[in-house]
Amino acid sequence: MPLDHFVSQVYLKNFYSPKLGALMYAIRKSDLKLFTPNAESVCRIEDGSTNFYLREDRIIEEFLKRIEPGYNAALTNLIKGKIDQESIFVIAGFVAYVSNCSPAAMRIYSASLKAVVEHTAIISDSKGSLSLPPLELGGKNLTELLQNGEIPVNIDPKYPQAFGIASILSHTITYGNYTWDILINPFEDSPFFTSDFPIAIERVHNTHISNKIIPLAPYMAIRICPNLAYDRKTPQLFLF
């Protein structure tokens, strides 16, 4: 089985420490211990890009072939202010992939799907649309069994990932047409850091939307701000 990177190596290599050469400083989540890996040995999972819910189970790899090779060139263009459609597509595609297809995204969207399944089951049960559970379960209805935790709802995380992969171009175009703030960090002694889910959420006062802040390199990040005027029904690649 292939070991697929859910955060690309070309991205991670930008966070190598000058003091370590081709290594970076990292903290392991499981024990909070410091270690110094290379980009190849972290943020990867067996068959991470394989999704059997899709007709072409590794189709996302074709998308990533368009994104990863152009990442460093896109960074250079952003820092120089020479922003073109290809640079926007590459950065927006990177954000779309991580925010919709990575393990953290799979866990996040699995939780929301679980809530939908439970809510739908309870509504159906209240309307008498479901058969009574077997007597071996104590004569309780489905609502009681769900609320007591006696029957769990388990979501295959690959299922929400399939939705993310199927809509990856739509998310890329949407992010590309939102407003971007380019955040430059000139302080070499206090660089931006990253993670296996390099997306921070920023609340926007008195609205139902939120911004995304993504470190692209130790010296640069972007803030993606939803553009409420953007018409998703007639997407354009890309507005300037």
pLDDT for the residue numbered 228: 76
Domain count within the chain = 1
Strands 200-203 and 34-35: unpaired
Does 237 map to a domain? Answer: no
Per DSSP, what are the bridge partners of residue 200?
213
pLDDT for the residue numbered 234: 67
Per DSSP, what are the bridge partners of residue 3?
46
Low-confidence ranges of the chain (pLDDT < 50): 239-240
Does 231 map to a domain? Answer: no
Name the DSSP letter for residue 221.
Answer: E
pLDDT for the residue numbered 240: 44
Q: Report if pTM > 0.85.
A: yes
pLDDT for the residue numbered 162: 98
Q: Which amino acid is at 121?
A: A
Does 37 map to a domain? Answer: yes
Report whether 6 contacts 101 (CB < 8 A): yes
Does 230 map to a domain? Answer: no
Residue 45: Cβ within 10 Å count: 15
pLDDT for the residue numbered 204: 84
Report whether 224 contacts 180 (CB < 8 A): yes
Domain that holds residue 218: 3-225
Does 205 map to a domain? Answer: yes
- Residue 108 phi/psi, 5-degree rounding, is -60, -50
Q: Quote the CA–CA distance of 42 and 198 in Å, as a whole number.
A: 14
